[in-house]
Chains A and B, each alone.
Chain A
């Protein structure tokens, strides 16, 4: 075997670099999607809460569909839909697009819950003190609502980081896909998957503990 070429080579130090780069891409697409999705989600959540039925019938229905269809199906669907309407979108753009709307659908619910947590009497009190509608939103609803739902928002963000693994089906080279490629080459699935899993865990576990602690200290 020594002087013949081999398809399978051992796990090397440079592979860790390869995994690290892929982990960076996982983080990148997650951060982009969480930022855009949160911004959209705040707007959607506010309009769902503020309007009686119109937003509910339009935005509400669409967002509900995004929550009721598997993310992987959404990704494949949109990735194949963009070329039909003539948009050229690579795996990153298409993946970030779908992940952002998916995030927005989850965040909208959280935000609506946050606004509802403030309560009508408090808002009426703000208005009767002479605050405008926007002042009421900015100085009363935002700080109180944020406290109520910040831990749930962290939960949404964490689930988006984990769900970003699905963008691999579009061929985007994120952590899980990179580890699959390494597995094919090194034939050492256990070690490599353990590395990938450890990365996700190292990212997600401290954040979830932190939000749990926040939740406990804020509710007591």
Chain B
């Protein structure tokens, strides 16, 4: 083994890497919020929507679940270029992640809604609750409990998937790492540190989610 590890240039760039890590987290969180909103809509459309909308929702879900995330990212990056639509790297990653999150979450939400029996809706309505009250007080809390764990997983996936941003020129944690690595040729060292940062980010998300779950689902 005649390779000398040089960690110093990497350690000097750790503040920049951590900052890029925040960007990674930012994209993941925004794409999750959008993904949850759209995913909820897709799930409801698939269950109760009129046929054309239901087909669109189904197509969205199946494409998101059955093609690689990188393909989806390339599609938003290069594919839309065919129609003269050129997104910035940030928007490419955000759109790609949102598309993917929405597709996967829609399926989770649908499973969650189907797990709550219809009789509960009828019971709530016959107690005098309005449709909105029924959803907010009876259905949503139960669905939330079922989809909470899959949602946490999806959040972790969003963080991991955002690393694909480096292939479309987005300078989040991976893109920034590649930028520095190609400047100094310390590829292994840089990516080793980045791997640790990702690991820590994922662990923090899981810890926070467990903590929140204990407070949310106490009874």
Looking at the assembled complex, report how far the CB atom of B197 sits from the nearest CB atom of chain A, in whole angstroms: 9
Whether B195 contacts A72 by the Cβ 8 Å rule is no
Whether A68 contacts B68 by the Cβ 8 Å rule is no
Chain B residues with CB under 8 Å of A158's CB are: 66
**Nearest CB in chain A to that of B178: its residue:** A76
Q: Which of B1, B71, B156, B191 contacts A86 (CB 8 A)?
A: B1
Indicate whether A31 reaches chain B with its CB closer than 8 angstroms.
no
- A183 to B65 alpha-carbon distance, docked (Å): 24
- A196 to B71 alpha-carbon distance, docked (Å): 8
Looking at the assembled complex, report how far the CB atom of B155 sits from the nearest CB atom of chain A, in whole angstroms: 13
Indicate whether A55 reaches chain B with its CB closer than 8 angstroms.
no
Whether A176 contacts B199 by the Cβ 8 Å rule is no
Chain B residues with CB under 8 Å of A163's CB are: 68
A65, A70, A76: most-surrounded residue (chain B CB, <10 A): A70
- A147 to B203 alpha-carbon distance, docked (Å): 32
Indicate whether B62 reaches chain A with its CB closer than 8 angstroms.
yes
Q: Which of B3, B67, B177 contacts A197 (CB 8 A)?
A: B67
Q: Which residues, 54 to 75 on B, are CB-close (under 8 Å) to A?
A: 62-63, 65-71, 74-75
Looking at the assembled complex, report how far the CB atom of B169 sits from the nearest CB atom of chain A, in whole angstroms: 13
Indicate whether B166 reaches chain A with its CB closer than 8 angstroms.
yes
Whether B68 contacts A176 by the Cβ 8 Å rule is yes
- A169 to B164 alpha-carbon distance, docked (Å): 10
Given contacts A73-B198, A193-B75, A193-B79, contact A201 B191 (CB under 8 A): no
Whether B187 contacts A80 by the Cβ 8 Å rule is yes
Whether B62 contacts A205 by the Cβ 8 Å rule is yes
Whether B66 contacts A201 by the Cβ 8 Å rule is yes
Looking at the assembled complex, report how far the CB atom of B93 sits from the nearest CB atom of chain A, in whole angstroms: 13
B66, B166, B195, B198: most-surrounded residue (chain A CB, <10 A): B66
Whether A84 contacts B75 by the Cβ 8 Å rule is no
- A200 to B72 alpha-carbon distance, docked (Å): 11
Indicate whether A77 reaches chain B with its CB closer than 8 angstroms.
yes
Q: Which of A68, A76, A189, A205 contacts B199 (CB 8 A)?
A: A68
Indicate whether B81 reaches chain A with its CB closer than 8 angstroms.
yes
Looking at the assembled complex, report how far the CB atom of A155 sits from the nearest CB atom of chain B, in whole angstroms: 10
The proximity string for B residues 1-35 relative to A, scoring 1 for CB distances below 8 Å and 0 otherwise, is 10100000000000000000000000000000000
Given contacts A73-B198, A193-B71, contact A81 B188 (CB under 8 A): yes
- A68 to B198 alpha-carbon distance, docked (Å): 7
The proximity string for B residues 145-185 relative to A, scoring 1 for CB distances below 8 Å and 0 otherwise, is 00000000000100011011011000000100100000000
**Nearest CB in chain B to that of A190: its residue:** B82
- A204 to B199 alpha-carbon distance, docked (Å): 29
- A149 to B66 alpha-carbon distance, docked (Å): 20
Whether A73 contacts B195 by the Cβ 8 Å rule is yes
Whether B195 contacts A201 by the Cβ 8 Å rule is no
Whether B1 contacts A74 by the Cβ 8 Å rule is no
Q: Which residue numbers of A lie inside 8 Å of B, CB to CB?
A: 65, 68-74, 76-77, 80-81, 83-86, 158, 162-163, 165-166, 168-169, 176, 180, 183, 188-191, 193-194, 196-197, 200-201, 204-205, 208
Taking A68-B203, A72-B174, A197-B75 as given, write out 20 further A-B residue pairs in contact, using a Cβ cutoff of 8 Å, ordered by the A residue number.
A68-B199, A69-B195, A70-B160, A70-B164, A73-B174, A73-B177, A77-B192, A80-B191, A84-B1, A162-B67, A165-B71, A166-B68, A168-B70, A180-B78, A189-B79, A193-B78, A197-B63, A200-B66, A200-B68, A205-B62
